[in-house]
Amino acid sequence: MIGEYRSQDEDTSASAGSETKKLAPALAQPEREQAERREVDKAKAGDPALWDRWFHAFYPRLFRYAYIRLRNRGEAEDIASQVFVEALRGIKSFEYTGRPVLAWLYRIEHNLISDRFRAEARRATIAGSSRDAIEYGVEGLAASIDLFNAIRSLPGDQRQVIILRYLMGLAAQDVSSIMGKTQTAVYSLQARALVNLRKHLSDEDRP
Amino acid sequence: MNSKMFGVASQDDELVRVLAAYFEQADRGDGEAVIEAHPELGSAIRELLGLESRMLVEMPGPTVEETAGAHLRMRIELNRLRGRGAKLRHARPRFLAFIGAIGLGLGMAGAFASGAVPSPPINLAIHSLQVAVSGDSSPQASGDVTTSGESPNDVDVTVSDTPVRKQVLDVAPNAAPSPPVTDASPIAPDIDGNVKTVTGATDPPSSHSSDAATGTLPLAATISTGLSGDHPGNAGNPPGLSGDHPGNGGNPPGLSGDNPGIGATPPGLSSDNPGSGGTPPGLSGDNPGNGGTPPGLSGDNPGNGGNPPGLGSDNPGNGGNPPGLTGDNPGNGGTPPGLSSDNLSSSDGVSGTPQPGANRGNGTNPHS
């Protein structure tokens, strides 16, 4: 089960998926907002401990999202780390409105990736889905590529819900606020995306 | 076929609906209840949840090295921003002090420029120059001028006979006698060119006005800077300087106030200062101006400012009649006819004659 967004309680392990498996039950919305507002104030003051905590909580998700989008670990690392640099530079002007900080970071990353795509489109150097084959290993990459391709084949809303819910680890309420949909709609999109993914993967597994 | 498709579609729709309900209940902590409520979809739901787990596992996260590198990059940026903020905080007071200093300087400059704040050093410099000119020129050349120091007006002036003065007066043998000199006049040359020795104070301290009508003659040597009524005129040449420097200045009749005059040669300078009017050095011809008769012209009006013949300078000074004109031409500072006093003039017309203090009026027409 995908846990809720918890910036303070998450494991800082860098191993894949481990941080989401240890998620504690979500705080109530008012409590979460209150705690996160205090964190934003600390972040604006440049509290290193707070930024370290944010980094270890969010970086694996940001990396994973970037990796799905870019399919290159080096670029994913570059983009995910750049997110924190941009966040540090822009935290003074950031106004907390109750939406998770991770949603803000996700928006930063989304824009960075879009910029990267535009730059690469000009250079036309993208080599397709096997960009990372050498450094990541063919076996592991094949499974990832299947999953990546399945996710990429989803309709836009479903893909976004999968990314936000599973890769970014956001709660349905946060995803609904980001996407401008009701929570029920988010649950429905999530369920439909999973059904379509299973269908896509089963079609690929068929000889 | 369509029914089969609709059946599949409706089956998927039912699965999606139940799965969505499961997600919703799972967020509230009771997802299993949904699966138990739909046992026919239980296996499908668990298969999809397995896909969810697979997605989490197969989505590769960053390695430790990748995480450490990104973390280092973030800390560098954080330290950079914190350092810059600290620098700005430290620089702010210094910057404000700098701006304040500039503002204070501009304000003071504006106050001085507008006159709101007096600038005594400048005034004192001007007045001290006059003191030096008139005071220093007197003692050696024309006699002893000593200031008692008790009062700016209590000055003992002793003027000895001056041969040069006699020569000057010899130039105009028909010159009318000088107006009577009152006791208050410290310098009273007679017609023979002898200079009367006058000792005593000039104006009382209470009235420092130059009154030409009454003959009150301010003493040039007794310059009290900042006092009204002192009209030093100029003092001719400083001792030891050659050349004629009659200068001008002095108050015209009826005017009071400080008119220091110009053209006098300050002590230590050996240049010719022709003063106003007169024939400038090196020019021949008639330049009546304020000056007297140029050398070599037999005009009738040497004035006080003309050059006496035989004196090697071309600075007639001012005053006097231009050649060919007769009558009363008092010139600058001279006593107009009918006034019975010596107006302090700027030029005593004597070449190199250092008159202590007050200089005789120039332009007094001896032919009147």
pTM check: above 0.80: no
Mean pLDDT over residues A22-40, rounded? Answer: 72
pLDDT at A90 > cutoff 90: yes
Give the Cα separation of B333 and B291 in Å (integer). Answer: 12
Spatial CA neighbour of B256 closest among B213, B209, B215: B209
Q: Answer whether B23 sits within 8 Å of A77, measured CB to CB.
A: no
| pLDDT, mean over chain A | 76
Give the Cα separation of B216 and B358 in Å (integer). Answer: 11
Mean pLDDT over residues A25-54, rounded? Answer: 85
Give the Cα separation of A174 and A170 in Å (integer). Answer: 6
pLDDT score recorded for residue B127:
52
Q: Answer whether A140 sits within 8 Å of B60, measured CB to CB.
A: yes
> Between vectors from CA B319 to CA B340 and to CA B132, what angle results, nearest 5°?
90
Mean pLDDT over residues B97-122, rounded? Answer: 71
Q: Answer whether A166 sits within 8 Å of B15, measured CB to CB.
A: no
Residue-by-residue DSSP string for A7-68: TTTS----STTHHHHTPPPPPPHHHHHHHHHHHHHHHHTT-HHHHHHHHHHHHHHHHHHHHH
Return the residue in A88, A108, A187 with the most chain B beta carbons within 10 A, the one to mutate for interface testing. Answer: A187
| Beta-bridge mates of residue B188 | B196
pLDDT score recorded for residue A185:
93
The residue written with tokens 């003959």 in the block is B215
Candidate from B20, B48, B77 with C-beta closest to A188: B20
Highest mean pLDDT among A62-76, B38-52, B179-193, B322-336: A62-76
pLDDT tens per residue, range B237-295: 445 544 444 444 444 455 444 444 444 444 554 444 444 444 444 444 444 444 444 44
Q: Which amino acid is at B280?
A: P
Candidate from B23, B57, B81 with C-beta closest to A191: B23
What interhelical angle do A138-152 and A183-205 show, nearest 10?
A: 130
Q: Which amino acid is at A98?
A: G
Distance between B83 CA and the closest CA of chain A, angstroms = 11
> Between vectors from CA B346 to CA B344 and to CA B347, what angle results, nearest 5°?
110
Residues of B in CB contact (< 8 Å) with A are 12, 15-17, 19-24, 26-27, 29, 31, 47-49, 51-52, 54-64, 66-67, 69-71, 73-75, 77-78, 81-82, 85
Quick one: which H or E segment has residue B156? strand B155-159
pLDDT score recorded for residue B182:
41
User: Is B275:B317 a contact under the CB 8 Å cutoff?
Assistant: yes
pLDDT tens per residue, range B164-198: 444 444 444 444 444 444 444 444 444 444 444 44
Distance between A177 CA and the closest CA of chain B, angstroms = 16
Mean pLDDT over residues B315-331, rounded? Answer: 47
Size of interface A-B (CB pairs under 8 A): 150
User: Is B230:B259 a contact under the CB 8 Å cutoff?
Assistant: no
Residue-by-residue DSSP string for B26-47: HHTT--HHHHHH-GGGHHHHHH
pLDDT score recorded for residue B91:
57
Return the residue in A1, A67, A190 with the most chain B beta carbons within 10 A, the one to mutate for interface testing. Answer: A1
pLDDT score recorded for residue A119:
81
Give CA separation, B248 vs A175, B54, B167, B261, B295, in Å. Answer: 99, 113, 21, 5, 19
Highest mean pLDDT among A124-128, B103-107, B202-206, B240-244: B103-107
Q: Which of A144-153, B42-51, B160-169, B222-231 has the lowest mean pLDDT?
A: B222-231
Q: Tell whether ipTM is more than 0.95.
A: no
pLDDT score recorded for residue A144:
61
| pLDDT, mean over chain B | 54
pLDDT score recorded for residue A145:
67
Candidate from B51, B58, B61 with C-beta closest to A63: B61
Q: A184 contacts in B (CB within 8 Å)? A: 20, 24
pLDDT tens per residue, range B10-27: 677 888 888 888 888 888
Give CA separation, A7 vs A94, A163, B52, in Å. Answer: 17, 18, 22
Q: A183 contacts in B (CB within 8 Å)? A: 24
Q: Answer whether A81 sits within 8 Å of B27, measured CB to CB.
A: no
Quick one: which H or E segment has residue B58? helix B42-58
Question: φ, ψ for residue B354 (rounded to 5)?
Answer: -85, 105
Q: Answer whether B73 sits within 8 Å of A16, measured CB to CB.
A: no
pLDDT score recorded for residue A17:
40
Q: Answer whether A25 sits within 8 Å of B29, measured CB to CB.
A: yes
pLDDT score recorded for residue B121:
54
User: Is B358:B347 a contact under the CB 8 Å cutoff?
Assistant: no
User: Is B235:B133 a contact under the CB 8 Å cutoff?
Assistant: yes
Q: Answer whether A14 sits within 8 Å of B51, measured CB to CB.
A: no
**DSSP code for B197:** P
What is the 3-state secondary structure of B284-331? CCCCCCCCCCCCCCCCCCCCCCCCCCCCCCCCCCCCCCCCCCCCCCCC
Give the Cα separation of B342 and B364 in Å (integer). Answer: 9
Candidate from A20, A73, A143 with C-beta closest to B66: A73
Enter the tokens of residue A123. Answer: 């250079």
Other Cβ atoms less than 10 A from the Cβ of B54: the count is 15
User: Is B368:B337 a contact under the CB 8 Å cutoff?
Assistant: yes
Give the Cα separation of B348 and B361 in Å (integer). Answer: 6
pLDDT at B117 > cutoff 70: no
Mean pLDDT over residues B344-351, rounded? Answer: 39
pLDDT score recorded for residue B67:
92
Enter the tokens of residue A76. Answer: 């994913």
What is the rounded (10 degree) CA torsion for B96, B102, B103, B107?
160
Candidate from A144, A195, A201 with C-beta closest to B15: A195
Give the Cα separation of A77 and A63 in Å (integer). Answer: 6
Enter the tokens of residue B51. Answer: 């896909």
Between B33 and A9, whose confidence is greater?
B33
Task: Categorize the per-residue pLDDT at A204 as very low, low, confident or very high, splitting at 50, 70 and 90.
Answer: low
Enter the tokens of residue A133. Answer: 């084959």
| Beta-bridge mates of residue B158 | B144
Give the Cα separation of A38 and B124 in Å (integer). Answer: 70
Between A96 and A15, whose confidence is greater?
A96
Candidate from B19, B70, B78 with C-beta closest to A48: B78
